[in-house]
Amino acid sequence: MKTLVYQKKILEEVKDLPEEQISNLLKIIRIFKNSIVKQRKEDVGLNKEFREWDKLSDEAFVNFERKL
C-alpha cells in the first residue's frame, strides 16, 4: 500500500520534467538501486566472514584453555 503512495508521489514530482531529464533520472534510479543490491550482498558476505572469525576465535580460545 505504501509503495503505491510513493509511486504516485514520484510520478507527480517528475510529470513536468523534459524527456532528456527523465532519461537521466532513470539512470540515477538504476545506479541507486544497484548500489543498494550490492551493499546488501556485501553485508551478507561480511556477516558470514564475521561468523567464521568468531568460530575460529572460539576454537583458538578453547584450545588455549585446554593447554592451561
* pLDDT the model gives residue 62: 77
Compute how many other C-beta atoms are within 10 angstroms of the C-beta atom of residue 24.
12
For 5-60, write each residue's pLDDT tens digit: 999 999 999 999 998 899 999 999 999 999 998 888 888 888 888 888 888 887 77
The yes-or-no verdict on residue 1 having pLDDT over 90 is no
- Hey, what's the cell of 29? 534510479
The yes-or-no verdict on residue 65 having pLDDT over 80 is no
- In whole angstroms, what is the distance from residue 26 CA to residue 19 CA? 11
